[in-house]
């Protein structure tokens, strides 16, 4: 059963968990939160690639204060025996963030290990402030101590796809969030 077969591809999209309308409503809330951070100093919205690209694109269109966009790509290396693991920056921000209010926009917090490390790494660069907004939150799976400043949807421990989130690089382009299953 190959996912390249369009029937197989479609059959694995099990259930729409969050609709486009629901996402839109929460995206506005995220933009309102970003607006509220404005104090005359520069704001940088940081998207973590690839998963957050759709979310960040939608949020930034709703923001009404001056803001810049930055992108990072990170790879996590964790294994069962070493929960401290390592997060390697594959692509870094292209400027010094010490004069910015930085807002990390994440697609999902699962174990939280990636974001916990990333928060420390960016914190060391001494931004004016550092906030985390996550579209999705799976608190049942949490292993690292990390809490988003704004979490838009709390979801159960299911593997989800769409709106930037993938399974083996597919499904990122779905306009909604769905549960993925091969059964
Ligand atoms: P963690 O919080 O360090 O465990 O890693 C979170 C990352 O794992 C996210 O940024 C996603 O790329 C990926 N991930 C976690 N749960 C899911 C899911 O349900 N669907 C798709 N990707 C997921
Ligand atoms: Mg991700």
Q: What is the pLDDT of residues 11-21, one digit of tens each?
A: 999 999 999 99
Is the confidence at residue 159, as pLDDT, over 80? yes
* Domains by residue range for the chain, with CATH: 18-172 (3.40.50.2020)
Give the residue numbers marked as catalytic.
110
Q: Is the CB of 160 under 6 A from ligand 1?
A: yes
Report which protein residue has its CA nearest ligand 1's atom 19.
159
Q: Are 106 and 133 in contact (CB under 8 A)?
A: yes
> Is ligand 1 within 6 A of the CB of residue 164?
no
Residue 54 CB less than 6 A away from ligand 1 = no
pLDDT greater than 80 at residue 23: yes
| pTM, 2 dp | 0.94
- For the stretch 113-146, pLDDT in tens is 999 999 999 999 999 999 999 999 999 999 999 9
Q: Which phi and psi (to 5°) does residue 60 adopt?
A: -65, -25
Q: CA 92, CA 81: separation in Å to the nearest integer?
A: 28
Q: What is the pLDDT of residues 43-96, one digit of tens each?
A: 999 999 999 999 999 999 999 999 999 999 998 877 655 556 788 999 999 999
Closest ligand, as measured to the CA of 56: 2
How far is 175 from 183, CA to CA, in rounded Å?
23
**Residue identifier of the C-alpha nearest atom 16 of ligand 1:** 110
Q: What is the DSSP string of 72-118?
A: EEEEEEEETTEEEEEEEEEE--SS--TTSEEEEEEEEESS-HHHHHH
Angle at 59 between CA 55 and CA 61, to 5 degrees: 125
86 or 33, which is more confident: 33
Site of tokens 């838009």: 152
């Amino acid at each position: 059963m190959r996912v390249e077969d369009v029937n197989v591809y479609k059959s694995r999209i099990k259930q729409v968990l969050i609709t486009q309308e629901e996402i839109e409503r929460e995206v506005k809330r995220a933009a309102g939160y970003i607006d509220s951070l404005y104090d005359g100093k520069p704001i940088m919205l940081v998207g973590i690639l690839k998963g957050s690209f759709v979310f960040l694109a939608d949020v930034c269109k709703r923001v009404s204060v001056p803001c810049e966009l930055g992108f990072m790509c990170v790879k996590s290396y964790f294994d069962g025996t070493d929960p401290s693991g390592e997060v390697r920056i594959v692509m870094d921000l292209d400027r010094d963030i010490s004069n910015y209010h930085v807002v990390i926009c994440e697609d999902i917090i699962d174990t939280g290990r990636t974001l916990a490390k990333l928060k420390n790494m960016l914190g060391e660069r001494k931004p004016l402030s550092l906030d985390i907004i996550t579209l999705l939150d799976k608190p049942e799976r949490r292993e690292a101590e990390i809490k988003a400043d704004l979490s838009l949807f709390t979801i159960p421990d299911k593997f989800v796809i769409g709106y930037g989130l993938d399974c083996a690089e597919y499904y990122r382009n779905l306009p909604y969030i769905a549960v993925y299953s091969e059964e």
